Amino acid sequence: MRESNFLHKLRVLRVSVVNDFRLSTRDSVLPNAEISRWLYYLCRGVLPNMRIGILTGGGDCPGLNAVIRAVVRKGIMHYDDEFVGFMEGWRGVYENKTMDVDMDAISGILPRGGTILRTSRTNPAKREGGLQHCMEVLRANRVEALVAIGGDDTMSVAQRMYEVGLKVVGVPKTIDNDLMGTDFCFGFDTAVNTATEAIDRVHTTAEAHQRVMVVEVMGRDSGWIAMYSGIAGGADVILIPERPFDIEEVAERIRMRHARGRYFSIIVVAEGAKFAKDGNAPVVTDMGKDEFGHVRLGGIGQILANEIEHRTGLETRNVVLGHIQRGGTPSAFDRVLASRYGIGAIDQVHKGEFGVMVALRGTDIVTIPLIDAIHKTRPVDPELVEVAMGLIDPIPAVPVNK
């Protein structure tokens, strides 16, 4: 098939520009070096090399370093970018705390949990003139675009910063897996594996002592970790924030199970799960709010254990997994997902389209407007609830003897 005249001209232009670019990189005194560099990139349909900021905000999770590594490796090796890391999330932007992020800084970080950039739950929008001040700091650092890695809080600040002119691309992180618009956040798979392994361990001791064991996992607004680890670990009852529960119904399920000969039970409860009788209020350990208005959750497992023991007469213990779920090395799935997100984010920066977050839809990495990711949290898929319900004892029409 004959190439159209236009395409042919474009190809000729591109070849000459590429040659010019190669010359210009070897001999940067050429007067047209900068122009040809721009043309070279434009002919590839991407923006030329940039100085890019990067930060990690909110609760940490396994895979943050893998994202940083992917963004920086592709940025430096394929786009000739330069990076400046902002320390401790948005606090680093507000307080101008930076670190150089080059190839040395990212060496060996792929399997490491936590984040080399550290993190915090800082909300500059809460400070008088905070967003404008952040813009000034970014300008002073000659930052042309920013990659913000975080959950809904970090993304909400990214959106506010986008509205005041920042060129920003978001990357979805949270072990809670509750960001809208993406099928999975990195960090979730590792947390689920950690929780599942813990449930397996609890299983053997529950069996040996003929006890009911309650395992409290993380999950502030959504019960993804509880649901996945509960199904994977063979839990007998799974309680999630999306469905406030009746404690007598939970006790009845345990009685049912024991009435048919089982002599131990496992209950998995998300920290944000609610007793229906409490008017859907979660159990909190600290009423003090962070800068995004969150109270500190925790403690539902022990209350539940006391109630179950009291109502069934079965010896019951509680285990809180807490931050163990957030620590440690990322799973292979999370390393791959984090790397895909990182590459997606840096490519997006060079496409020059901002105010978006990279996301997983099915098997594809796509982008969605930041605003779509933050308008509410993503509840557990009802189909998963059906799966869990299909695996446990149904409530009998006539209650089992108390």
Residues interacting with ligand F6P, by CB under 6 A? Answer: 59, 174-176, 218-220, 271, 297, 326
C-beta of 38 vs 184, nearer to ligand F6P: 184
Catalytic residue chosen out of the listed positions 81, 176, 178, 189: 176
Tokens standing for residue 312? 């069934």
Q: Which residue is nearest to ligand F6P (CB)?
A: 59
C-beta of 291 vs 307, nearer to ligand F6P: 291
Tokens standing for residue 35? 């122009």
Q: Supply the minimum distance, in Å, between the C-beta of residue 59 and ligand F6P.
A: 3
Residues whose CB falls within 8 Å of the CB of residue 87, separated by 6 or more in sequence, listed in order:
55, 97, 98, 99, 117, 118
Contact 71, 50 (CB under 8 A): no
Reported as half-sphere exposure (CB side, CA atoms, 13 A), residue 74 has a value of 17
Q: Supply the minimum distance, in Å, between the C-beta of residue 54 and ligand F6P.
A: 19
- Gap between the Cα atoms of 172 and 8, Å rounded: 41
C-beta of 134 vs 218, nearer to ligand F6P: 218
Q: Supply the minimum distance, in Å, between the C-beta of residue 297 and ligand F6P.
A: 5
C-beta of 60 vs 347, nearer to ligand F6P: 60
Closest alpha carbon to 217 in 233, 204, 205: 233
C-beta of 53 vs 59, nearer to ligand F6P: 59
Determine whether 20 is an active site residue.
no
Q: Supply the minimum distance, in Å, between the C-beta of residue 130 and ligand F6P.
A: 21
Residues whose CB falls within 8 Å of the CB of residue 147, separated by 6 or more in sequence, listed in order:
52, 53, 54, 55, 71, 168, 169, 170, 171, 345, 346, 349
Q: Supply the minimum distance, in Å, between the C-beta of residue 175 and ligand F6P.
A: 5
Output b/e per residue, 330-369; b: 16+ Cβ within 10 A.
bbebbbebbbbbbbbbbbbbbeeebbbbbbbeeeebebbe
Within 10 A of 293 (CB to CB), how many other CB atoms are there?
A: 9
Hey, which residues are catalytic here?
176
